Amino acid sequence: MDVEMLIREAMEALKNSYAPYSGYNVGAALLTERGRVFRGCNIENAAFSPTNCAERTAFFKAVSEGERHFKAICIVGGKNAKNGAPITDFAAPCGVCRQVMLEFCDPDTFRIILAKNEDLYEIHTLRKLIPRGFGPSNLGHADKKQ
């Protein structure tokens, strides 16, 4: 897996972050098993609750394009991260995004890359970020998703 490439893709996605209310900008790049990359950014809304996280934007773009098998996601961002200043935080995914990942990803093989730049990053398994999660296997749907 080309981690640096995925970080660059997430940085590109970050440029489109629409976060006028929180000022917290996030970009994500989702790598499919077939090697396609889907970018996502957070998209806020004046009514607040319609806001979509960067990770879910990437997942929903990919799934709506027929992709169901994923290798990794890279996430970059932070407060005012869009302004070109160095990113000082590792932007961890929220609980809702972890749950969406669990719907489509094997918790032991899917990788979550949190990056500040191309040289500074952490790699986590989904299992580590959502231990004892409730997913498709709890409903007996491990291998038969329609």
Residue 142 contacts by C-beta under 8 Å, 6 or more apart in sequence? 136
- For residue 14, state whether it binds ligand THU (rule: CB under 6 A): no
**Catalytic hit among 55, 67, 103, 118:** 55
Sheet holding 37-41, edge to edge: 37-41, 24-32, 70-79, 111-115, 121-125
Q: Could you give the CA distance from residue 32 to residue 52 in angstroms, rounded to a whole number?
A: 21
Binding status of residue 19 toward ligand THU by CB under 6 A = yes
* Stretch near ligand THU under the rule CB under 6 A, chosen from 65-73, 92-100, 109-117, 119-127: 92-100
- Could you confirm whether 55 is annotated as catalytic? yes
Does residue 87 interact with ligand THU by CB under 6 A?
no
| Contact residues: ligand THU, CB under 6 A | 19, 22, 24, 26, 42, 44, 51, 53-55, 93-94, 97
Q: What is the set of active-site residues?
A: 55
